[in-house]
Structure 1
Amino acid sequence: MDISKILINKEISIRDAIEKLDKSTKRIALIMEDNKLVGVVTDGDIRRWILKNGDLSYKVELIMNHSPIVLTPTNIHHANEIMMNKHIEAIPIVDENKEVVDIVFWNDLYHKKFNYTNINNIAVVIMAGGKGTRLKPYTTIIPKGLLPIGDIPIVERIINKFLEYNFNDYYLTINYKKEIVKAYFNEAGPYNISFIEESKPLGTAGSLSLLRDTLKNCFFVTNCDILVNTNYSKVVEYHKKHNYKITVVVALKDYIIPYGVFKLNESGKIDSLMEKPKYEFLVNIGMYLLEPEVLKYIPENTYFDMTELITRSIEEGESVGVYPVSDNDWLDMGEFKSMENMVEKLNI
Structure 2
Amino acid sequence: MNIQDLFINEDLSIKEAIKKLDETAKKILLVVENNKLIGVLTDGDIRRWILKNGNLNEPISLIMIRSPKYICEEDIKDAKKVLKEYSIEAIPVLNKKEEIIDIIFWNDNFNIKFKFKKMDNPVVIMAGGKGTRLDPYTKILPKPLIPIGDIPIVERIINRFNEYGCNNFYMTVNYKKNMIKAYFNEIEKTYVIDYIDEDKPLGTAGGLYLLKDKIMDTFFLSNCDILIEGNYSDMLKYHKEHKAKITLITSLKHYTIPYGVIQINEDSDVKKMIEKPEYDFLVNTGMYILEPEVINDIPENEFFHITDLINTYINKGEKIGVYPISEGAWLDMGQFKEMEIMLERLGIK
Q: Same fold (TM over 0.5)?
A: yes
Q: Residues 118 and 150 of structure 1: is their aligned pair in 2 closer, same or farther, counting only changes over 3 Å?
A: closer
Q: Which residue of 2 aligns with 1:186?
A: 185
User: Quick check: 1:246–1:321 contact (8 Å CA) kept in 2?
Assistant: yes
1:239-258 equivalence runs, <5 A: 239-258=239-258
Q: Percent identity?
A: 55
Q: CA deviation at 1:274?
A: 2.9
Q: Which residue of 2 aligns with 1:347?
A: 347
The CA deviation string for residues 213-258 of structure 1, in whole angstroms up to 9 with x for no partner, is: 1212211111011111112122112222222221101111111111
C-alpha separation between the residues in 2 aligned to 1:314 and 1:118? 31
Q: CA deviation at 1:53?
A: 1.5
Q: Which residue of 2 aligns with 1:205?
A: 205
1:134 maps to 2:133: yes
Q: Which residue of 2 aligns with 1:333?
A: 333
Q: CA deviation at 1:50?
A: 1.0
Q: Which residue of 2 aligns with 1:34?
A: 34
The CA deviation string for residues 38-89 of structure 1, in whole angstroms up to 9 with x for no partner, is: 1100000111111111111111112111111111123334434443343322
Q: Which residue of 1 aligns with 2:152?
A: 153
Which segments of 5 or more consecutive residues in structure 2 lack a partner in the other structure?
none
Q: Which runs of 4+ in 1 moved over 6 A?
A: 265-269
After TM superposition, the structure 1 stretch with the greater mean CA deviation from structure 2, 25-34 or 159-168, is 159-168
After TM superposition, the structure 1 stretch with the greater mean CA deviation from structure 2, 251-260 or 134-143, is 134-143
C-alpha separation between the residues in 2 aligned to 1:20 and 1:78? 29
C-alpha separation between the residues in 2 aligned to 1:149 and 1:86? 35
Q: Which residue of 2 aligns with 1:297?
A: 297
Q: Which residue of 2 aligns with 1:306?
A: 306
C-alpha separation between the residues in 1 aligned to 2:293 and 2:59? 42
C-alpha separation between the residues in 2 aligned to 1:335 and 1:74? 51
The CA deviation string for residues 122-162 of structure 1, in whole angstroms up to 9 with x for no partner, is: 12111110111212222122111111222221111211222
Which segments of 5 or more consecutive residues in structure 1 lack a partner in the other structure?
none
Q: Give the SS at the match of 2:71.
A: coil
Q: Which residue of 2 aligns with 1:66?
A: 66
User: Quick check: 1:116–1:237 contact (8 Å CA) kept in 2?
Assistant: no
Q: Which residue of 2 aligns with 1:321?
A: 321
Q: CA deviation at 1:96?
A: 3.0
Q: Give the SS at the match of 2:171.
A: strand
User: Quick check: 1:250–1:283 contact (8 Å CA) kept in 2?
Assistant: yes
Q: Give the SS at the match of 1:286.
A: strand
Q: CA deviation at 1:269?
A: 6.4
What is the aligned-residue RMSD (CA, Å)?
2.0
Letter in 2 for 1:173: T
C-alpha separation between the residues in 1 aligned to 2:112 and 2:239? 23
User: Quick check: 1:115–1:234 contact (8 Å CA) kept in 2?
Assistant: no
C-alpha separation between the residues in 2 aligned to 1:36 and 1:269? 54
Q: Residues 163 and 264 of structure 1: is their aligned pair in 2 closer, same or farther, counting only changes over 3 Å?
A: same
1:230 maps to 2:236: no
The CA deviation string for residues 272-309 of structure 1, in whole angstroms up to 9 with x for no partner, is: 54321211100111001111122111112221111012
C-alpha separation between the residues in 1 aligned to 2:270 and 2:103? 51
Letter in 1 for 2:325: V
Q: Would you say how many aligned residue pairs link Structure 1 and Structure 2? A: 347
Q: Which residue of 2 aligns with 1:2?
A: 2
